[in-house]
Structure 1
């Protein structure tokens, strides 16, 4: 009996507590993976003119309806979507206020319940809105919901600001729809200002309160530990302010995202009638004019990226898993900030930024066109009141690139007690210079003569394979010299490609408008991902090469803002590499270990000794990985410990040992060495083909060439016993000399020397081999991705294998790309349909040119399609840089300039060939 009474009392308590909370009931699904079918009628375009079903939430284009529309499109059919469904309101809600909430629907939305209008048509596709439907619903019964969504807005300013931008303009109810039940007397919303000094001010908006009602607040950690004492305020009107100060609180920052929870209890006659929980963080974010951006009194720089809320198969209907993945990728690149481009994101994304640690720039929509003042004021309120309590949000963006209405600038502070900074991205405004796509000269000028706090909210435009990390090291190091530097935001996080249900599932990036990402539509990583990760590593090692007398000491710099490197570890590994032949594992680990980092405060540098000296002599490469407190990799650096000739000297012998023969034919010279026949064209001096000992023909031809402007001057053949030397000299715009040596028991050796004149995109020795016969490549060098002169970072030294692909970055996403320049190649095996062959170098700084990448179909200039030799295989001493959508490479800084010989000293090197 006692047990039954106890359970009954628990039930009563549970029911009472439940009644105090806001109750939510979903009518739609909750995300892209959890949807509910509603009735649907599309008025125009694909699958239009009939009632059917559609998943809610979703963008209707991705469900096969209407017309895919990009902001720049001229022809828009402006279809409507008619939705219908039913829902039941519990009888227990009889005495409550019932609201219907739409988290996002594009663009104009008319809502009816049981045939009656819920209120004015909502205009603005990226904002949460609600209606009080208490008087329209039937309690304990089924209710009808009809929603008409017009893709085009009847408001001209909203239409231009939202649907004329440089991004996809999807339609439909793409975020969840739900009901909320609240007590008649309730807390409507809260706005919290919790500062780094421990002071907390909370503004509470409440409805239907009476004299004598109070709100009691209690702060806890997220695990439920009470912090400080509870505090109360007596209520008057519809708005009340609670204040309290706390000692020994943990501050929120992107490196230590400490969060708290505050519970607000609305109390009448000692009974709780409504209770609201809100997460928040103590932190202070301010701009100090002519100085910088400060978080909790510490000057910070944004290592940021611009992110669209988009997934290829579901448009702007996302999920927690996608948000987690994106934030994980952003933080893995050692970024600390993200800008919402060009509209507010899902609530859940901001919740995760709070808990995982990213500073956020939250943006009112307006891409080069602004909302009218009446609409803008309403939408600013909807934006700020939804997002105000997120500690991750440190700045409000009032539109983008001219899409700002200056009459709205002061409205943000009406709803934000923190009075966060308001900026105009692209403009000098409010003490900031957020110029978009500055070139390197602008950065230099700003660092010398600027006065505003500088952080470009878009730069290093990553169209196709351009921008992003290319030139970033030059930009970043120069920006660091500026007294009012606050970092910047790369454009953009991912290629904004969508699955076209009307084009057999093709992923469409709308020509060259949207393939701008560091990663692909499904988050496929480009080379810039790894380069950014290294350049922006907060544990920073600047050592490019190790000296011959390397003593195991590395200089480490702390580029965190709030973290002591004593919280981090270093993992080191030593390796050597086996022969280039065969398919076996080719990396042999010699030794490894971990060391705890000493105390190194932000901004400090210190030499760290690695316990590697005893194993260095038997090792060919050193790897060092910085590991964060949570065990995640911060960055990895690798260095060869031996030169190319030291590594290759044991590999350039030949097991065959036969006499060398010479055969002359009409305009052809054949040299037979170790049972392999080398055929040369005596007119050009170039190798024409090779026939190996098994009689298989290898179609290597057209070289060695130092450039198309070279004209043969001499062709000399000498034989000394069984050693044959073929020397060819060329003149033209510069000169070159090639010398082949064939000897028994040795691989054929090509010695080259060349001295081109003037500036060059590239310099090197090239050959031809038919692309259609290449199946793959294996090499010892840096990989696995290709490089450009101004994007060498992030690749690791080791043995790599790639199968042939014809990937065009941003048009298809089979990464890493096969074609392109590869750095620090010691040897490479070209895998072919004829017979594999290997080429060894004696130079540590050779770039391998593998074929010529296909140019993107919709590229309108050559900024992101650097020059390549008119040949398929090259061993280069210099390669070109790559530019951005808006800048040629030469405007991107010192690393991005064209190449030329210094002091007229020719380039020399040797190659050995194993067929």
Structure 2
């Protein structure tokens, strides 16, 4: 679906503009956003385009933006491990794509600062606005970057944008970190492009730190202050009630201020209770509002207790996690909110509580959903077995953290993968993160622990037990490789019981969520998983549920239901174990159904329902065990052939269904 311009609320208070609709409104005290591209894979805008090599090359035509150009029929396909498969003589396709786009800007933007923002370009981008360089070329595919184009844009007139995109970077370290990797390599402007407009005096960005004790601090970065000013922050809860307020004065030209306040007994953010607050920031001169913006955030405190575990809000937690690529067969790395939402829901349906963004930062909308629906996130700097050099790495760490710093779902920063760690970048994360989240090193060789956490990949059951007997916290950021669904849930039950019971286990992250099968536009649209390299998901490419999906749902269930023999004379008593971290089972409900099973010759298969009921869960705190009587009539237990019990979450979602034969 194409839209000439698209409306979308990003993670800020904004007015989304369509050319000509703002007119002379040059005093809007908010950020205004004008999309030059579409907003996702289903809402695109055609730009002029020419590809240098490969398919459909050498001739000017059009391409949908955002997109991966291979999926639009241009260039050539590469899988990053091909240099392993075919040897070091393998040469990756290195085509360039040149984009041109003409657009108009509202005349009301004449007296405002204007920024050109790219959410993601693979891989190097050279940008010109009206024939002038927008700034230095950007290197690195998965990061939001922006240019101040105030003096280059012509408000109220026609403007020309030209972007030259190189699939392979001019920086060898970027290629080693991002391109020579175990995933499909694409090229193009694959995430949205838009303009941001601000009043001359404005708040550029905010970095929030909010603790479980109700402490709130915000680093506020202002631009263009022309005299003494005041910034006020108002914190509201999910019902819109004011929870706290603070203000601070700023001097002419001052660019940073820190606002502090305290919210008594806040609703804390966890994956089980994803309570979000809003912080509204207002820049003013006397009674006049100059600018306002808002951020969502959560009150929570992350801690690592060395030799003990990972703590959230003072409670030890274990990650039931999975690795996720940003991927869809028809569109490559260009996704949509619907796909992000589907993935978050599927992860939670499997009773997982965590996701590792492998091996690069995801689109920002995915993190919004993790915040609101509740998933713990490992946000990873790219570096698949090789690291960025320090010069480019410092820029990309800054871009990553500035974009993602206010997401309460982000628990750890991950500095690269399996040898893709540049240790000189470890301290950079804290430069932009006032909450000072822990940094980890995801690795596939022992002895690379960092911050008291060992993450070594693909240990077997016995070596896992040996590592846990050491003094480190063990969180494998990859384990039980799911190739052809031969891993993942296979063998997980024993692994998970070991992890759950051992005090120094912090859980782990399965590889991987989905099969990375791409629709090859050069091969009649057949799905290609690059031999054995990419069919390693719990789900298929279109999120088809494979066998592991159903097993994971039971193995990772936060409610364990066991019993002796059901039915007379044993009654209907369940033995329960509460494996939630923050939820009492009295917040859950248990729905029971008695059934008779189909017999040979019956017209229907499966079972028929005889009687059903629902009972509130018992008072069993997290980590404790107890019992529950379902209240099934004794006569029904004698007559029915089976009993099915479904435990439901406080939100009414089915957690797990178990069944027992009664006779």
What displacement does 1:306 show? 0.5
Would the alpha carbon gap of residues 381 and 545 (structure 1) be closer, same or farther in structure 2, given more than 3 Å must change?
Answer: farther
What displacement does 1:157 show? 0.2
Query: Following superposition of structure 1 onto structure 2, how do residues 585-734 of structure 1 map, counting pairs within 5 Å?
Result: 585-612=605-632, 613-642=634-663
Helix, strand or coil at the partner of 2:191: coil
Q: Which residue of 1 aligns with 2:4?
A: none
Helix, strand or coil at the partner of 1:310: coil
What displacement does 1:288 show? 1.0
Larger deviation, residues 350-359 vs 70-79: 70-79
CA contact (8 A) 1:233 1:241 kept: no
Is residue 480 of structure 2 the alignment partner of residue 473 of structure 1?
A: no
Q: Which residue of 2 aligns with 1:897?
A: none
Aligned mates of 2:24, 2:504 — CA distance in 1: 56
Measured against aligned partners, the alpha-carbon deviations of 1:857-885 in whole angstroms (never above 9, x if no partner) come to xxxxxxxxxxxxxxxxxxxxxxxxxxxxx
What displacement does 1:585 show? 4.1
Q: Which residue of 2 aligns with 1:518?
A: 538
Q: Normalization by structure 1: what TM-score?
A: 0.67
CA contact (8 A) 1:446 1:482 kept: no
Q: Which residue of 2 aligns with 1:780?
A: none
Is residue 325 of structure 2 the alignment partner of residue 295 of structure 1?
A: no
Is residue 61 of structure 2 the alignment partner of residue 44 of structure 1?
A: no
Measured against aligned partners, the alpha-carbon deviations of 1:693-745 in whole angstroms (never above 9, x if no partner) come to xxxxxxxxxxxxxxxxxxxxxxxxxxxxxxxxxxxxxxxxxxxxxxxxxxxxx
What displacement does 1:291 show? 0.7
Helix, strand or coil at the partner of 2:342: helix
Is residue 35 of structure 2 the alignment partner of residue 35 of structure 1?
A: no
Aligned mates of 2:26, 2:213 — CA distance in 1: 34
Measured against aligned partners, the alpha-carbon deviations of 1:621-657 in whole angstroms (never above 9, x if no partner) come to 2111001121110011112223xxxxxxxxxxxxxxx
Q: Which residue of 1 aligns with 2:29?
A: 20
Aligned mates of 1:536, 1:210 — CA distance in 2: 56
What displacement does 1:584 show? 2.6
What displacement does 1:230 show? 4.0
Q: Which residue of 2 aligns with 1:147?
A: 163
Helix, strand or coil at the partner of 1:20: coil
Larger deviation, residues 260-269 vs 232-241: 232-241
CA contact (8 A) 1:30 1:176 kept: yes
Larger relative contact order (CA 8 Å, sep ≥ 6): 2
What displacement does 1:583 show? 4.0
Is residue 40 of structure 2 the alignment partner of residue 59 of structure 1?
A: no
Aligned mates of 2:573, 2:203 — CA distance in 1: 60
Q: Which residue of 2 aligns with 1:339?
A: 356
Would the alpha carbon gap of residues 450 and 629 (structure 1) be closer, same or farther in structure 2, given more than 3 Å must change?
Answer: same
What displacement does 1:428 show? 1.5
Helix, strand or coil at the partner of 1:479: helix
Which of these residues, 565, 580, 594, is aligned with residue 560 of structure 1? Answer: 580
What displacement does 1:614 show? 2.0
Q: Which residue of 2 aligns with 1:445?
A: 466
Q: Which residue of 2 aligns with 1:93?
A: 109
Q: Which residue of 2 aligns with 1:322?
A: 339
What displacement does 1:107 show? 0.1
What displacement does 1:231 show? 2.9
Q: Normalization by structure 2: what TM-score?
A: 0.93
CA contact (8 A) 1:233 1:242 kept: no
What RMSD in Å do the two structures reach over aligned CA positions? 1.7
Which has the larger Rg? 1
CA contact (8 A) 2:77 2:93 kept: no
Would the alpha carbon gap of residues 185 and 475 (structure 1) be closer, same or farther in structure 2, given more than 3 Å must change?
Answer: same
Aligned mates of 1:18, 1:305 — CA distance in 2: 47
Is residue 452 of structure 2 the alignment partner of residue 431 of structure 1?
A: yes
Aligned mates of 2:117, 2:480 — CA distance in 1: 39
Aligned mates of 2:279, 2:70 — CA distance in 1: 41
What displacement does 1:211 show? 4.4
Helix, strand or coil at the partner of 2:213: coil
Is residue 306 of structure 2 the alignment partner of residue 286 of structure 1?
A: no
Measured against aligned partners, the alpha-carbon deviations of 1:158-208 in whole angstroms (never above 9, x if no partner) come to 011000010111110000000011111111111110101111110011112
Query: Following superposition of structure 1 onto structure 2, how do residues 823-862 of structure 1 map, counting pairs within 5 Å?
Result: none
Measured against aligned partners, the alpha-carbon deviations of 1:53-95 in whole angstroms (never above 9, x if no partner) come to 1110000111111111111123322111111111111110001
Helix, strand or coil at the partner of 1:428: coil
Aligned mates of 2:544, 2:136 — CA distance in 1: 43
CA contact (8 A) 2:140 2:174 kept: yes
What displacement does 1:548 show? 7.6
What displacement does 1:544 show? 8.3
What displacement does 1:610 show? 1.9
Aligned mates of 2:26, 2:353 — CA distance in 1: 39
CA contact (8 A) 1:231 1:244 kept: no
Q: Which residue of 2 aligns with 1:248?
A: 265
Q: Which residue of 2 aligns with 1:413?
A: 430
Aligned mates of 2:505, 2:127 — CA distance in 1: 48
Q: Which runs of 5+ in 1 are unaligned?
A: 1-13, 643-915
Measured against aligned partners, the alpha-carbon deviations of 1:594-635 in whole angstroms (never above 9, x if no partner) come to 111121100111111122332122222211100112111001
Would the alpha carbon gap of residues 586 and 405 (structure 1) be closer, same or farther in structure 2, given more than 3 Å must change?
Answer: closer
Q: Which residue of 1 aligns with 2:413?
A: 396
Helix, strand or coil at the partner of 1:166: coil
Aligned mates of 1:537, 1:578 — CA distance in 2: 29
Aligned mates of 2:597, 2:128 — CA distance in 1: 71
Would the alpha carbon gap of residues 387 and 581 (structure 1) be closer, same or farther in structure 2, given more than 3 Å must change?
Answer: same
Helix, strand or coil at the partner of 1:480: helix
Q: Which residue of 1 aligns with 2:240?
A: 224
Larger deviation, residues 420-429 vs 366-375: 420-429
Which of these residues, 188, 200, 217, is aligned with residue 216 of structure 2? Answer: 200
Aligned mates of 1:21, 1:545 — CA distance in 2: 65
Aligned mates of 1:179, 1:171 — CA distance in 2: 22
Which of these residues, 153, 157, 173, is aligned with residue 157 of structure 1? Answer: 173
Which of these residues, 192, 195, 209, is aligned with residue 176 of structure 1? Answer: 192
CA contact (8 A) 1:498 1:509 kept: yes
What displacement does 1:302 show? 0.4
Q: Which runs of 5+ in 2 are unaligned?
A: 1-22, 83-89
Helix, strand or coil at the partner of 2:431: helix
Is residue 370 of structure 2 the alignment partner of residue 349 of structure 1?
A: no
Q: Which residue of 2 aligns with 1:783?
A: none
Is residue 68 of structure 2 the alignment partner of residue 69 of structure 1?
A: no
Larger deviation, residues 615-624 vs 277-286: 615-624
Query: Following superposition of structure 1 onto structure 2, how do residues 76-87 of structure 1 map, counting pairs within 5 Å?
Result: 76-87=92-103
CA contact (8 A) 2:49 2:62 kept: yes
